[in-house]
Structure 1
């Protein structure tokens, strides 16, 4: 880490929530009523299906084309995956969380952020890619890239470079464009040589080939991207224009795949949702895991640790 990065971490560490604020936020976080009041359009630990969840089903030929693209390139794009009323409620939820000084990943206290992959359009694709009995892992995140020059998503990486039978579902709650840091990827069928062995040991020739074959993946609000765990991808940099890029991601693995410790516990996406207390523990764990990618989350580390301790995770 460079001097600038070290200085940023030191400054952010000084901005961590004090004990009084940690105690107050912990009390709020543990209250279902608090979250229900904050965004009454979305349920918490409810039993009802997604509100206004009807979207047009994929035509067989369209689904076939998407699956063919996934098989060759390692990713696919689904337009209008979220119905407009649900998209509006989830987008508003993210803005409310930021206004009330919560990391946006707390959106996962709400049922909808767990239920979205059950929408028929997405469930059909996941079932075709992973087979019957696929499971949702405990890995999830909410990505909020502010509309500031130089702000950006995560650096180039693979979610699971050495494992098969895994996909990520990434949902856009705002337009994602090159101007505000949309995703980029290198298609798996790009002729760039055997770079997958070690990203840290790229030759100049291979690096230039990766850059040359990279693809911008702009999408409209409400669209979904689904990609293979071995796909090389990253978030671009914002130029400070337009609106912030808001999105969230969840991960799934095939029934026959052995989960890693980080992927546990697993959830059956067709069964009941994780209990409220377990969601809070997983949110705390996610903050502790991912703050290295988003250093501003240092502010919430003490709160995250308390949530993990409460949940026993």
Structure 2
């Protein structure tokens, strides 16, 4: 079976199981064998970042190696979209994993040295010319993602792969101290959020945002006057000394069993990445909608044999 794409060359489902296909699609990126850059501390002091996280529920910082890698991942996103695939397939390559590996000291500072990456990640290509928007207002998690003292047990890290601004759907966040629904238990009505509390967060490649998972956030609507699509990616993490925040793929249905978290090192193998991407497509369908053809593709990739890895 082939994928209907704007490309002149058909892409078969079997092609997607071949590392050679992915290397030919974005030859400037790696699949296996990439040498990781040294891990880096933030540019701001940990004291300042901790104060921001405690009051606002999020902070932003930047990194020079992510500034170099992010446009490469953005190019992979564009090539995936050009052949009719969701942007999340860019996670087949080493470079997205390398961006987050660069920030291990930051995650360790706030979640402990034994922190765990969750099998929860995504990538976006929000196209103003198609009238697309980012994901609707939501919280990544609820009260179970906070310790008794209010400190986060889990965090989300969002990285722009292109310039993100209010015209092409930058991130919006309601700071924790301005959010009357921040600690509302799951399943109960939230009080309305004051419009003035929403904070736009323009960002560029090299920046990253980190927020606790109770924070309300969303990607804004796009404008016809935007100059280019907004591309970005996100990855979730949790403390390693507590019960898994995310039960094995609770956001998806009828998925084969897999660990509720990933290991910090090494990067997942090609076949594991392919399965993980398929699972993201299924578990995040409540955020973007899922066509039957894409659901069928994800189901196929969960069990299909890989080659040329």
1:244 equivalenced with 2:229 (yes/no): yes
Bigger mean CA offset, 72-81 vs 89-98: 72-81
Conservation of the 8 A alpha-carbon contact between 1:134 and 1:254: yes
Q: Name the CA distance, whole Å, in 1 between partners of 2:81 and 2:106.
A: 32
Bigger mean CA offset, 286-295 vs 187-196: 187-196
3-state SS of 2:123 partner:
strand
Shift in CA distance, 284/229, structure 1 to aligned 2, threshold 3 Å? same
Q: Partner residue of 2:49?
A: 66
Which runs of 5 or more structure 2 residues have no equivalent in the other structure?
5-9, 146-152, 251-258
State the number of aligned residues. 282
Conservation of the 8 A alpha-carbon contact between 2:159 and 2:232: yes
Q: Partner residue of 2:59?
A: 76
Q: Name the CA distance, whole Å, in 2 between partners of 1:184 and 1:196.
A: 20
Superposition TM-score, scaled by structure 1 size = 0.81
Q: Partner residue of 1:177?
A: 165
Within a 5 Å distance, the mapping from 1:120-199 to structure 2 comes to: 122-148=103-129, 150-164=131-145, 165-190=153-178, 192=180, 196-197=184-185
Q: Partner residue of 2:287?
A: 293
Q: Name the CA distance, whole Å, in 2 between partners of 1:67 and 1:146.
A: 34
Q: Name the CA distance, whole Å, in 2 between partners of 1:249 and 1:56.
A: 18
Q: Name the CA distance, whole Å, in 2 between partners of 1:127 and 1:248.
A: 20
Bigger mean CA offset, 169-178 vs 84-93: 84-93
Which runs of 5 or more structure 1 residues have no equivalent in the other structure?
1-18
More helix, by proportion: 1
Query: In the TM superposition, what whole-angstrom CA distance separates every residue of 1:51-102 from its partner, at most 9, and x where no partner exists?
Result: xx4798535x633212210122111101245444322311111111111222
Shift in CA distance, 159/30, structure 1 to aligned 2, threshold 3 Å? same
Within a 5 Å distance, the mapping from 1:1-313 to structure 2 comes to: 19-21=1-3, 25-44=12-31, 46-50=32-36, 53=37, 57-59=41-43, 62-80=45-63, 82-119=65-102, 122-148=103-129, 150-164=131-145, 165-190=153-178, 192=180, 196-197=184-185, 201-202=189-190, 206-209=191-194, 211-240=195-224, 241-259=226-244, 260-262=247-249, 264-269=259-264, 271-295=265-289, 298-310=292-304
Q: Name the CA distance, whole Å, in 2 between partners of 1:86 and 1:227.
A: 22
Q: Partner residue of 2:256?
A: none
Conservation of the 8 A alpha-carbon contact between 2:160 and 2:207: yes
Superposition TM-score, scaled by structure 2 size = 0.82
Q: Name the CA distance, whole Å, in 2 between partners of 1:124 and 1:48.
A: 20
Query: In the TM superposition, what whole-angstrom CA distance separates every residue of 1:242-273 from its partner, at most 9, and x where no partner exists?
Result: 2101001111110122122227342222x211
3-state SS of 2:222 partner:
coil
Conservation of the 8 A alpha-carbon contact between 2:30 and 2:94: yes
Conservation of the 8 A alpha-carbon contact between 2:155 and 2:238: yes
3-state SS of 2:138 partner:
coil
Conservation of the 8 A alpha-carbon contact between 2:69 and 2:99: no
Q: Name the CA distance, whole Å, in 1 between partners of 2:278 and 2:182.
A: 37
* Offset at residue 156 of structure 1 (A): 1.1
3-state SS of 2:300 partner:
helix
Conservation of the 8 A alpha-carbon contact between 2:164 and 2:203: yes
Q: Name the CA distance, whole Å, in 1 between partners of 2:209 and 2:227.
A: 21
